[in-house]
Structure 1
């Protein structure tokens, strides 16, 4: 009897967010949006809407975020060397879910990505695409998806560039989306304010 292939959504949530607050006192992922859910909760919610399983990678000192995400049904993984670069967080999640048929890799500071975008990318992976990226107004964005065959290359990544190098050196399926959120990350306090008040009134 053949089992259904396992697909995994990976939420990268282990960054320090120094551009948001150089002092490290305010974690951008815990900032509340207009509906009182945090930035990371929104990002997780959007990924959960499309993926059958979601794991998040966190720093060891972020119990508050872990509690929030676990309450939503997200499995939280602690990466002890996350500060050495995003690649370490990603590889930690990949090793833990190495039996997956593929992965959709999302960033926890991008709460504006539409669930429909996540679904379109996941559908493309299930249909046989090996690498998928969303495109809005001719610009690529996040999240990105990889089929299992790219696991060795993903596990070779180093530093803080993420999987960008693989997108530049391999065939990519571009999925056109009507979603400016694929370009919008909350990396500064101004970006948070713009997300909350894009037209001068609160919006989540």
Structure 2
């Protein structure tokens, strides 16, 4: 398995949600614990989580092991969390798998697949669900500075990906990248679904 770290972006205040989403629970576990466990179980040797709003509560409530990265600028957009997280990835890792705290149906197999693409030579590997790009995303060490430099406001790696299509390998993945933006979104996930079944982790 490639020497890979994991990174969860979990610093936002969750204004539409009503509070920091890292603290919210889905299926009996906090979204932060679920995201950290998904990266660990997918093959990441160390997981970092960028915290901001509600950081003390998130640390106190966490049951999964991770390295906290504090983002005091979390109110200035997702890019500040990505920059802080990428800068904190220890030099011993060849690359990092990035995911978001508010996507609890991302599964470990998706993490394994993007790492697998990296082992086959991909510098950037992006999960794809029914033709649409999403998380997790793998970034090789040599591109972390450029990705951070291109992140602005709430735009993370999007501009880097658009400018470097030759580096990107799309990887079909199981799971569901649905974002939880509101309490209604979270409640909808807990109700029995009538649609197609997702591939379990």
TM-score normalised by the chain length of structure 1 = 0.85
Partner of 1:8: 5
More moved, 108-117 vs 40-49: 40-49
Partner of 1:178: 174
More moved, 103-112 vs 77-86: 77-86
* Matched residue count: 189
Q: Describe the SS at the equivalent of 2:143.
A: helix
User: 2 CA distance for matches of 1:164 and 1:98?
Assistant: 23
Give the CA RMSD over aligned residues: 1.9
Partner of 1:159: 153
Question: Does structure 1 retain, via aligned residues, the 8 Å contact 2:10–2:21?
Answer: no
Q: Which runs of at least 4 in structure 1 moved beyond 6 Å after TM superposition?
A: none
User: 2 CA distance for matches of 1:60 and 1:33?
Assistant: 19
CA offset digits 1:93-146 (Å, max 9, x no partner): 211215131111100111110111111111112222111111121111112111
1:27 is the counterpart of 2:13: no
Equivalent of 2:188, from 185, 188, 194? 194
Provide structure 2 residue ranges, at least 5 long, that are not aligned to the other structure: 195-201
Partner of 1:86: 78
Q: Describe the SS at the equivalent of 2:102.
A: coil
User: 2 CA distance for matches of 1:13 and 1:60?
Assistant: 9
User: 1 CA distance for matches of 2:120 and 2:37?
Assistant: 24
Equivalent of 2:101, from 87, 108, 111? 108
Pairs within 5 Å for 1:127-138: 127-138=120-131
User: 2 CA distance for matches of 1:103 and 1:52?
Assistant: 10
Q: Describe the SS at the equivalent of 1:120.
A: helix
Q: Describe the SS at the equivalent of 1:143.
A: strand
Q: Describe the SS at the equivalent of 1:106.
A: strand
TM-score normalised by the chain length of structure 2 = 0.86
Distance 1:193 1:93, change over 3 A: same
Q: How far does residue 85 in structure 1 lie from its aligned partner after superposition? A: 1.4
Question: Does structure 2 retain, via aligned residues, the 8 Å contact 1:133–1:142?
Answer: yes
Provide structure 1 residue ranges, at least 5 long, that are not aligned to the other structure: none
